[in-house]
Amino acid sequence: SDDPTNTRSRKNPLFWKTSAKREKMAMLYDRWKVHTERGQAHLYDLSTDPGEDNNVLNQYPDVGNAMLEDLMAWRKSIPDEYCKKDNNCEKLFDFDPEKNPVVIGPPALLALGNGGKDGVDADNL
């Protein structure tokens, strides 16, 4: 967003997941956070709901779907299983701090600077 006090703005989204059997995944971009849990998707507008109390996926399905698409693309870019080198296992996570990681940019719908308020083009909602 154009608000200089918005500390959440970043060039690319932030992704993360748990390694539990029922993995939870999330993506944070601009004012939005989407996450999956037990097969359900949740979308939060952190600018109005920093406590993540109100799932707004039904109100902003285009935003949620665009973010979920990027979240799934990111998930496919990382291994299903991995372990640390000192655990003597076969599935080491191939990480080299000297190499640039795969970068998945923001969904076009949410790209900052696309003319929409807070990074979202209202005509696309």
> Hey, what are 29's tokens?
């971009």
Question: Given pLDDT bands bounded at 50, 70 and 90, which one contains residue 47?
Answer: very high
Question: pLDDT for 15-36, tens place per residue?
Answer: 888 866 677 899 999 999 999 9
Of the chain, the end-to-end C-alpha distance in Å amounts to 17
Say which residue, 102 or 123, is predicted with more confidence. Answer: 102
Per residue in 51-85, pLDDT (tens digit) is 999 999 999 999 999 999 999 888 888 776 666 55
Q: Where are the domains of the chain?
A: 14-101
pTM of the model: 0.65
Across the chain, mean pLDDT equals 74
Say whether domain 14-101 belongs to CATH 3.20.20.70. Answer: no
